[in-house]
């Protein structure tokens, strides 16, 4: 049963949360089971697509057109090689500055200082931290 949090006191919400809390391992196992089922269903769908003759013919035509497009893009890239090098340098500078910005924000947040900045339109931004998991070796 779902509860509307506006109808419940803080104590009731914490009691419901405590009762609903599950072991992290159980939740992880449930996610893995659902991923296996998703993989099985995607495989069935892919097999159905692969068995379609008209779709296979369209794919072949598509691959021919894709190869032609790739050749044309390569010719254009060769004509604009100087500009592409400049573009790559700018992209590297942007990535470097974004990493620097992340480091500054994290350092300020750890010190308890506010981390806010504005864009050209006076819209304020603040960092959003994300938790990511990786295998333990």
DSSP 52: -
Read off the pLDDT of each residue in 14-22 and give the average, rounded to a whole number. 60
Of the pLDDT bands very low, low, confident and very high (cuts 50, 70, 90), residue 1 is very low
Are 13 and 5 a contacting pair, CB within 8 Å? Answer: yes
Token pair listed for 88 = 């790559």
Is-above-0.85 flag for pTM?
no
Specify which residues 117 forms β-bridges with: 125
Q: With bands split at pLDDT 50, 70 and 90, how would you rate the model's confidence at 125?
A: very high
Q: How many CB atoms lie within 10 A of CB 84?
A: 13
Higher pLDDT, 43 or 129: 43
**Residue 132, pLDDT above cutoff 90:** no
- For residue 127, which of 117, 136, 112, 137 has the smallest C-alpha distance? 117
Tens of pLDDT, residue by residue over 72-121, are 999 999 999 999 999 999 999 999 999 999 999 999 999 999 999 999 99
CA dihedral 97, 103, 109, 112 (to 10 degrees): -110
% of the chain exceeding 90 in pLDDT: 64
pLDDT at 5 over 70: no
**Region label for 112, one of left (φ > 0), alpha (ψ between -120 and 50) or beta (otherwise):** left
């Amino acid at each position: 049963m779902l509860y509307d949090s506006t109808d419940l006191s803080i104590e009731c919400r914490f009691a419901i949360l405590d009762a609903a809390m599950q072991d992290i391992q159980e939740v992880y196992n449930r996610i893995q089971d659902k991923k296996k089922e998703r993989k099985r269903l995607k495989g069935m769908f892919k097999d159905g697509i692969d068995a379609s003759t008209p779709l296979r013919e369209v794919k072949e035509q598509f691959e021919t057109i894709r190869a032609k497009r790739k050749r044309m893009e390569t010719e254009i890239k060769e004509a604009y090689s100087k500009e592409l090098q400049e573009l790559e340098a700018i992209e590297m500078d942007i990535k470097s500055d974004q990493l620097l910005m992340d480091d500054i924000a994290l350092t300020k947040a750890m010190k308890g200082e506010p981390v806010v900045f504005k864009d050209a339109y006076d819209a304020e931004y603040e960092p959003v931290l994300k938790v990511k998991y990786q295998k333990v070796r």
